[in-house]
Amino acid sequence: MPAQMPKRVKWRKAQKGRIRGNATRGNKVEFGDFGLQSLEPGRVSGRQIEAGRIAAQHFLQREGRVYIRIFPHKPISSKPLETRMGKGKGDTDYWAALVKPGTVLFEIGGVTADVAKTTMLRIAHKMPVRCRFIERRHSL
């Protein structure tokens, strides 16, 4: 499966922007029983998301279910190497998901806590941001 990207977009290029504040949405475990939560802001590329998914599914084999909670919507552009400054903005190099502190990146369901923690550690090694393992808080 190739790196993720949107099917179609309204604008080919986007401004750089800044990632400010903490996540107010997408910060709780919703689908699985355990989650991987980011602790710092950053950009997670489609390839890094895919690498995390492959690492999780390879470790879990056919047990449990992996949920990906982020999607790379933002185009990141770059100019070719050894190109002089100017002459416009570069072409889209890759797609990235903007991640705030508190965003849940991945979730796992249908496995024990030990297996989930080991799996999330393997995913966390592929991520460009510091992450922590969290559990779903059951409430009535």
pLDDT band at 3 (very low <50, low <70, confident <90, very high): confident
Closest C-alpha to 44, from 119, 135, 123: 123
**Domain assignment present for 68:** yes
Q: What would the pLDDT profile of 61-77 be if each residue is shown by its tens digit? A: 989 999 999 999 999 99
**Domain assignment present for 140:** no
Domain extent for 73:
34-78+90-135
**Domain assignment present for 50:** yes
pTM, two decimals, is 0.91
**Domain assignment present for 61:** yes
pLDDT band at 4 (very low <50, low <70, confident <90, very high): confident
Contacts of residue 66, defined as CB under 8 A and 6 or more positions apart, other chains included, come to: 32, 53, 56, 57, 60, 106, 107, 108, 119
**Could you give the number of structural domains in the chain?**
1
Q: Which two tokens stand for residue 59?
A: 């470790």
**Domain assignment present for 124:** yes
Instruction: Give the torsion sign (CA, 28, 70, 100, 106).
Output: positive
CATH of the domain at 123: 3.90.1170.10
**Domain assignment present for 62:** yes
**Domain assignment present for 2:** no
Q: What would the pLDDT profile of 6-61 be if each residue is shown by its tens digit? A: 899 899 999 999 999 999 999 999 999 999 999 999 999 999 999 999 999 999 99
Find out whether 119 and 54 touch, Cβ atoms under 8 Å.
Answer: no
